[in-house]
Amino acid sequence: MSAHERIVMHHADITRALTRISHEILESNKGPEDLVFLGIPTRGVTLAHRIGSLVEQFSGVAVPVGDLDVTMYRDDLHRNPTRSPRPTRIPEGGVNGRTVVLVDDVLFSGRSIRAALDALGDIGRPAAVRLATLVDRGHRELPIRPDFVGKNLPSSRDERVNVRLVEVDGDDAVTIGGK
């Protein structure tokens, strides 16, 4: 963490937020039936697995979790052409007729989610698509709104929000600071 960053969520805050999101998903879906969680790499995949584990803990039913790479569906590849595509892993049983919950770490402009919707459309036809995000920082460029939010974090466009997760980064924290 740099001197210009401050921690806005610690491990306990992230755990509490994911627990609340998991309960909200179960409530809005009226149980775990026909749910599929698809994480958007990198940290969205980790969060999807954590939410899947919590949902199983609360409901006693394992919900399939997969990865949805959106790299080749992004409209900003010209600005960052060095992105490496990651594998897309759709759980057995697919997405057709199921409620898919897309999981991402930070919702900002909405462009990653637009790309995820395009990628999902190439995979199948879900009955419904929902969006869960750990942090919603605003500044939407597209008409996309999350269904489940861990923390609304108003920020300036010049600030950077970083999510660190123990599985990827060695610790759990959300920080905000200058670029």
| Structure confidence at residue 44 as a pLDDT band (50, 70, 90) | very high
Minimal CA–CA distance to 63: which of 45, 37, 26, 99?
37
* Residue 37 belongs to a domain: yes
Q: What are the tens digits of pLDDT across the range 94-134?
A: 999 999 999 999 999 999 999 999 999 999 999 999 999 99
| Structure confidence at residue 81 as a pLDDT band (50, 70, 90) | low
| Structure confidence at residue 76 as a pLDDT band (50, 70, 90) | confident
Q: Which helix (H) or strand (E) holds 99?
A: strand 99-107
* Residue 130 belongs to a domain: yes
Domain housing 163: 5-72+94-178
* Residue 10 belongs to a domain: yes
Q: How many domains does the chain have?
A: 1
* Residue 79 belongs to a domain: no
pTM: 0.94
The phi, psi pair for 91, rounded to 5°, reads -60, 155
Whether 90 contacts 64, CB under 8 Å: no
The domain spanning residue 35 has which CATH number?
A: 3.40.50.2020
Minimal CA–CA distance to 142: which of 174, 94, 107, 104?
107
* Residue 152 belongs to a domain: yes
